[in-house]
Amino acid sequence: MGHRQILAGERKRVELRLGDVESDGSFSGYASLFGRVDLGRDIVERGAFARSLAKRGASGIRMLFQHDPAAPIGSWSEVREDARGLFVRGRLALDSAKARDIHALMRGGALDGLSIGFRTVRARKETKSGVRRILEADLWEISVVTFPMLPEARVDSVKSRRRSKTPQTQEFAPDRLMASIRRATRMLNDRSTKGNT
């Protein structure tokens, strides 16, 4: 997990591991893990999001793609702290073409990251180790992103509204996965080209 200052806040990325992604785009997992030193030498402490969550609730935290405020892709129905970290449950808005594209990329394994957007309210730096402990963070968005940074954080489940009686598991062939990665790369290059014109 890394971080950098961005406008009014910071970002931290964690890894999503997706199994079957079915029809309605629902998924759950962890957007942050407590007590883990990330690549930016930060540790998010348990309770860091409590005040922010009490103030905003799940409906006040945006689901974005690549931290782009112009690219909302769904909504969070549950965002809460537990002993492990910041647990989230949400659903992509599949009426949107962008969300449908992201859904396809998630199903193909080409998108597997979550990243939180927040502002540090209180932190303590340990002089000897150089580690910064984030004691309170004002959380305002959680994004689906391309590049994961913390392998220990995982999505627990991806569900559909209509569950079939028989579990449907599917192994991804390497050529299908590579095709998905190429599609994601083209999509990002197209966005970058448009942004520079």
Q: Which residues pair with 113 in a beta bridge?
A: 15, 145
Q: Which of 32, 115, 143, 180 is catalytic?
A: 115
Strands 85-92 and 42-44: unpaired
- Between vectors from CA 80 to CA 82 and to CA 86, what angle results, nearest 5°? 65
CA 12, CA 148: separation in Å to the nearest integer? 9
Active site residue 67: yes
Six-digit token pair at 29? 């997992």
CA 6, CA 79: separation in Å to the nearest integer? 23
Strands 132-145 and 42-44: parallel
CB count, 10 Å around CB of 32? 29
Q: Which of 67, 103, 143, 180 is catalytic?
A: 67
Active site residue 141: yes
Residues identified as active-site: 67, 115, 141
